Amino acid sequence: MQMRNNGGDGFRLSVSSTHSCASGGSAGPDDIESLGDLYVWGEVWSDGLNPDGPVSLVPAKIDVLTPKPLESNVVLDVHQIACGARHVALVTKQGEVFTWGEESGGRLGHGIEKDFSRPQLVEVLALTTVEFVASGEYQTCAVSTAGDLFTWGDGTHNAGILGHGTDVSHWIPKRVSGALEGIQVLSIACGAWHSALATSDGKLFTFGDGTFGVLGHGDRESVKYPKLVQMLSGLKTIKVACGVWHTAAIVEVIGQAGVNVSSRKLFTWGDGDKHRLGHGSKETYLLPNCVSSLIDYNFHQLACGHTITVALTTSGHVFTMGGTAHGQLGNPNSDGKLPCLVQEKLVGEFVEEISCGAYHVAVLTSRSEVFTWGRGANGRLGHGDVEDRKTPTLVESLKDKHVKNISCGSNFTSSICIHKWVSGTDQSVCSGCRQAFGFTRKRHNCYNCGMVHCHACSSKKALKAALAPTPGKPHRVCDTCYAKLKAAEAGNASNPTRKVSGLNSSIDSRERSDKFEIRPSRLLLYPTAEPAKYFEIRSGKHEARSNSPSLVRGSQVPSLLQLKDVAFPSSFTAIQNVLKPVPSPSPPSPPPPPGSYSPINSRSSSPYSRRPSPPRSATPAFSKGVMESLRKSNELLNQEVSKLQKQVLVIYTLLLSEV
């Protein structure tokens, strides 16, 4: 699954947890459409009682010592999250932005001066599909799928912190123009007083407070608009991270002697206090400078804290540099003057992702395990206490969850985990056709009932799904829920004068569908049999009563994995009893052909047989066209039943021979 190069740091090759996972005994990975749940720990926000009265609730900070699910009024399908100093922003898979935490100068983007303990939709961005968000001390940034940059927050603290050229606050998101006009932004990072962004063509722009040369322009001047870092203009910037007074970037460079081989090197600049830049000194660097001690490594990701820089190589190794006060280097033997390799429990692990708070670090491995170390105040490490950790320590409470992403705030931590829909249910087979999941049969979640289905059983999308995070957009639902939602939608759209009759028709149609649906049998069928098939029963009268055809469902075939859990009949007579012939219904339905069997015991093969019979003197209710349609449908059903009988006989013969 991973490829490591012992002779040097090679290119990164692994199966990332961001794109795949396995749970519930499945033979293959889940699809990427599984819901992302959010877990938080450390100093987080919760509902608290207002001291002036118990009726209204106000957000209050509490210490959570182990990961807990985020309290939310809606089901959030989390795609990416960014933790700031005292607020959080997240993006859903639908491209919507939610924020919560402490409001200060508009950094939540809701246009009101109010703190929120639970995620609140940023309504101004509701019509914009957002791909990525970043949070700083006083500002929040978002990058749309079109590459546009939006910023909001408190702009009065430092010149140009929002990149709009003014020192005023913006309480709602505003698009950044100027130097970025016509340029596609790829990613952005926020520090306490400045921000840095990388474009699709590899250019690096910075803006905000320029103290200690943190912007990389060769001076200490502040910049109100995004400004190109000229030092790196001939190179390609891959990733960037911002600390309080320093910045780090991964830059792609070309090999010497004209060799067309690129490598990704670590560059740092700004305040060198606590040796956080990795250059072996505390000097201030006004321009980006390559970390020479790590020149032999290629880098994949990086993160910055208050006095620390963390870098992840393409081979899954973690290097740290900077302050040692709380053990945040993860290596008790290092003084922090030069980059050190984090080992201990990470030896043999392939690290997929890293994140850094003010004085603590969290990493995610390829085995979906989370390790944290550094300062433990407020329970930010997730180990159930407030003790510092000097070496990587496994977060035990996340062992049984599939962690997809991690993110650290100043004094709290969060993780996105694949959602486990229903506790105690079988997650290895489709809830509809009962076929086992595998590499070709992927999991899909129904946003209405919360069950897992294969693609064939959940290929439709519908509005107003019960678990939909965005009510106004269509979401994937299973076939059963789709029919129910469409029926409800049709009922709501009918005229008031026909409301009662439309409701009766809908109930009658649904009742017929439920009564004539063939349930999965516990009898074994041949493993190579086709999945459930559907037969449409149409007629002129039926189409007049309902726009959707009635569906009669064929037998559902269990997979090989289910064979051991199926009860076998004691004799061939038991099989015959299950498929016992049913007397044909009274006219006008024709009798079945000799030797044929009805697919359901004591159930009519015609949906019309349950309608009240007309008086004998009345005109016959069925025309010749209806009769012909029903006769053909009945013949198709009998042919399918005959095939199934033969399959039962084959498998039963095989079982007897084995016995």
Choose the most confident range, by mean pLDDT, from 5-9, 47-51, 635-639. Answer: 635-639
- Main-chain phi, psi angles of 141, to 5 degrees: -130, 150
For the segment 193-203, the average pLDDT, to the nearest whole number, is 93
Mind listing the pLDDT tens digit for each residue in 349-359?
Answer: 999 999 999 99
What are the beta bridge partners of residue 44? 62
Among the ranges given (336-350, 450-464, 630-644), the one the predictor scored with the smallest mean pLDDT: 630-644
The CA-atom distances, in angstroms, between 542 and each of 188, 567, 606, 611 are 58, 39, 12, 12
The whole-number pLDDT of residue 580 equals 40
What are the beta bridge partners of residue 175? 150
Is residue 590 very low, low, confident or very high in pLDDT (cuts 50, 70, 90)? Answer: very low
- Non-local (6+) Cβ contacts of 36 within 8 A are 76, 77, 78, 79, 93, 404, 405, 416, 417, 418, 419
For the segment 639-658, the average pLDDT, to the nearest whole number, is 78
The whole-number pLDDT of residue 439 equals 65
Give the span between the Cα atoms of 395 and 382, in whole angstroms. Answer: 6
Q: Is 497 left (phi over 0), alpha (psi -120 to 50) or beta?
A: alpha
- Non-local (6+) Cβ contacts of 595 within 8 A are none
What are the beta bridge partners of residue 223? 208
- What is the DSSP code string of 553-613? E------GGGGGGSPPPSSHHHHHHHT---PPPSTTSPPPPTT---SSTT--S-TTTTSPP
Give the span between the Cα atoms of 354 and 485, in whole angstroms. Answer: 42
Is residue 240 very low, low, confident or very high in pLDDT (cuts 50, 70, 90)? Answer: very high
For the segment 413-420, the average pLDDT, to the nearest whole number, is 84
Task: Look up residue 299 and give its amino acid.
Answer: F
The whole-number pLDDT of residue 16 equals 30
Tokens of 208: 């905000």
For the segment 382-395, the average pLDDT, to the nearest whole number, is 95
For the segment 274-283, the average pLDDT, to the nearest whole number, is 93
Q: Of 42, 39, 84, which Cα lies nearest the Cα of 386?
A: 42
Is residue 436 very low, low, confident or very high in pLDDT (cuts 50, 70, 90)? Answer: confident
Task: Note whether 39 and 69 are within 8 A (CB).
Answer: yes
Task: Note whether 82 and 99 are within 8 A (CB).
Answer: no
- Main-chain phi, psi angles of 480, to 5 degrees: -65, -45
CA atoms within 13 A on the CB side of 219: 7
- Non-local (6+) Cβ contacts of 594 within 8 A are none
Choose the most confident range, by mean pLDDT, from 149-163, 172-186, 637-651. Answer: 172-186
Choose the most confident range, by mean pLDDT, from 121-125, 511-515, 625-629. Answer: 121-125
Give the span between the Cα atoms of 288 and 216, in whole angstroms. Answer: 6
Choose the most confident range, by mean pLDDT, from 182-186, 390-394, 462-466, 547-551. Answer: 390-394
The whole-number pLDDT of residue 624 equals 58
Does 316 score more than 80 pLDDT? yes
The whole-number pLDDT of residue 255 equals 66
Does 571 score more than 50 pLDDT? no
Among the ranges given (145-159, 225-239, 322-336), the one the predictor scored with the smallest mean pLDDT: 145-159
Q: Which residue has the higher pLDDT, 567 or 631?
A: 631
The whole-number pLDDT of residue 206 equals 95
Among the ranges given (18-22, 50-54, 89-93), the one the predictor scored with the smallest mean pLDDT: 18-22
Among the ranges given (222-231, 240-249, 318-327, 530-539), the one the predictor scored with the smallest mean pLDDT: 530-539
Does 547 score more than 90 pLDDT? no
Among the ranges given (270-274, 339-343, 568-572), the one the predictor scored with the smallest mean pLDDT: 568-572
The whole-number pLDDT of residue 95 equals 92
Q: Which domains does the chain have, with CATH numbers?
A: 36-418 (2.130.10.30), 422-488 (3.30.40.10)
Q: Which helix (H) or strand (E) holds 371?
A: strand 370-374
Task: Look up residue 649 and give its amino acid.
Answer: L
Q: Of 181, 223, 188, 182, which Cα lies nearest the Cα of 204?
A: 188
The whole-number pLDDT of residue 550 equals 34
> DSSP 3-state helix, strand, coil percentages of the chain (rounded to 5)?
20, 30, 50
Q: Of 58, 32, 30, 33, which Cα lies nearest the Cα of 46?
A: 58
- Non-local (6+) Cβ contacts of 262 within 8 A are 252, 253, 254, 255
Q: Which residue has the higher pLDDT, 592 or 374?
A: 374
Q: Of 329, 359, 350, 324, which Cα lies nearest the Cα of 341?
A: 329
Give the span between the Cα atoms of 401 and 397, in whole angstroms. Answer: 8
Mind listing the pLDDT tens digit for each residue in 85-97?
Answer: 889 999 998 899 9
Task: Look up residue 522 and give its amino acid.
Answer: R
Give the span between the Cα atoms of 322 and 121, in whole angstroms. Answer: 37
Give the span between the Cα atoms of 44 and 85, in whole angstroms. Answer: 11
β-strands 412-418, 403-408 pairing: antiparallel
